[in-house]
Amino acid sequence: QSSVTIYGTLDAGVSKKTGTTAAIGKRDNNKLGFKGVEDLGNGLKALFQLEIRYEPDTGTLESGTRPLFQGQSRVGLQGGFGTVRLGRGLTAFQESITAFEPWNGLPSVAGFQTDLQVAGYATAFGSGSDPLGPAGNSGNRMSNALFYNTPVFSGFQLNATLGTKENGGSASAIQGRNPVGTPAQYLVGSDASANPYSLSGTYNNGPFAAMAAYERNAVETKVWSVAASVVPVTGLKLMASYQKQDQEHTKPVNGETKSWVIGANYTTGPGKILAGYGQKTPDGVIKTKEISLGYEYNLSARSYVYIEASNRKQPAAGSTTVDTSVNFYGLGIHHNF
């Protein structure tokens, strides 16, 4: 009955950001997971997966406050009909989009996923996939959800996530559509005003891949994205994505944010070069612009060392019209087990 595979990632490095002390931290999400597949016969399988997330520099759970199985806790069945799972995990939107980001969705400051590629969807208060979850909760997962992936047909796959209206434990009220100062629409412990859901379609055909995705969360913030990538010559992958977020349900003014990210990965021998540029433009606020360059050197199929740098021009604290420039440098080791 030893049906459990243990897996994980331990990534740690040294980094320096303009205006803060040198720090030891992470470039990737750090994981310790337990998973298994049981063959039920007739092409049917039972699946489970539990994934701890943690901070390598302090040993705490991710951000110190996230659920034990922040990564995912899902159980389900797989067969000719596709894969159906219940529990908590990345939404269809979020799990499809990372393949079109030059840092492959890594949460590094040099990466584009969290702040730019999803148009800041996961970071603004009351936003993200799980806005009625507890404080500190990751914004790109749904709890209390049903996850469905179709089989792959000629390179096409459809993915859907449907959440219940259950409040997941939010400890703060969230201002609804009403003007600022009027009563919040989502009191502490409120159920969602609509079932949150997330949809994506992906296409993979040799050197070409593309995606379209849409998500509406429990406080009716909406986000959509289209993205594509191409491999014009062996070792080189070019990619681009465009996103638009609509927060009009919870922001009385300036509820829209647009963003785009372009990038390239170039593999040469044991090395891989990563490069990207992106912009985010929230209504009424000046653009955030980021440019990043990184290099990974493989020590084995499971381990690599990396170095990276980025510059971000973003609105200065408290300002919508003046920007500030932040440089970031990182160096570290990434190990999968």
For residues 6 and 157, give the distance between their C-alpha atoms in angstroms, rounded to a whole number.
28
The distance of closest approach from Cβ of residue 62 to a copy of itself in the complex, given in angstroms and rounded to an integer, is 10
If the CB atoms of residues 191 and 283 are measured against a copy of itself, the closer one turns out to be 191
For residues 55 and 26, give the distance between their C-alpha atoms in angstroms, rounded to a whole number.
7
Count other Cβ atoms within 10 Å, centred on residue 24: 12
The distance of closest approach from Cβ of residue 95 to a copy of itself in the complex, given in angstroms and rounded to an integer, is 16
Residue owning tokens 């799990």: 95
63 close to 136: Cβ distance less than 8 angstroms: yes
- Give me the half-sphere count of Cα atoms (radius 13 Å) on the Cβ side of residue 256: 5
Q: Which helix (H) or strand (E) holds 94?
A: helix 92-97
224 close to 258: Cβ distance less than 8 angstroms: no
Q: Torsions phi, psi of 153, nearest 5?
A: -110, 115
Q: Which residue stretches of 108-209 are H helix?
A: none
**Inter-CA distances, 57 with 174, 196, 211, 267, Å:** 32, 34, 35, 29
The distance of closest approach from Cβ of residue 246 to a copy of itself in the complex, given in angstroms and rounded to an integer, is 24
The two structure tokens encoding residue 238: 């070019």
The distance of closest approach from Cβ of residue 306 to a copy of itself in the complex, given in angstroms and rounded to an integer, is 13
CA 131, 140, 7: angle at the middle one, nearest 5? 135
For residues 246 and 150, give the distance between their C-alpha atoms in angstroms, rounded to a whole number.
28
Count other Cβ atoms within 10 Å, centred on residue 155: 13
The distance of closest approach from Cβ of residue 83 to a copy of itself in the complex, given in angstroms and rounded to an integer, is 13
For residues 330 and 228, give the distance between their C-alpha atoms in angstroms, rounded to a whole number.
28
If the CB atoms of residues 49 and 117 are measured against a copy of itself, the closer one turns out to be 49
Three-state DSSP state, 117: helix
If the CB atoms of residues 326 and 333 are measured against a copy of itself, the closer one turns out to be 333
Three-state DSSP state, 115: helix
Residue owning tokens 């379609």: 201
The distance of closest approach from Cβ of residue 41 to a copy of itself in the complex, given in angstroms and rounded to an integer, is 8
The distance of closest approach from Cβ of residue 94 to a copy of itself in the complex, given in angstroms and rounded to an integer, is 15
The distance of closest approach from Cβ of residue 287 to a copy of itself in the complex, given in angstroms and rounded to an integer, is 30
If the CB atoms of residues 62 and 115 are measured against a copy of itself, the closer one turns out to be 62
The distance of closest approach from Cβ of residue 217 to a copy of itself in the complex, given in angstroms and rounded to an integer, is 16
CA 320, 325, 326: angle at the middle one, nearest 5? 120
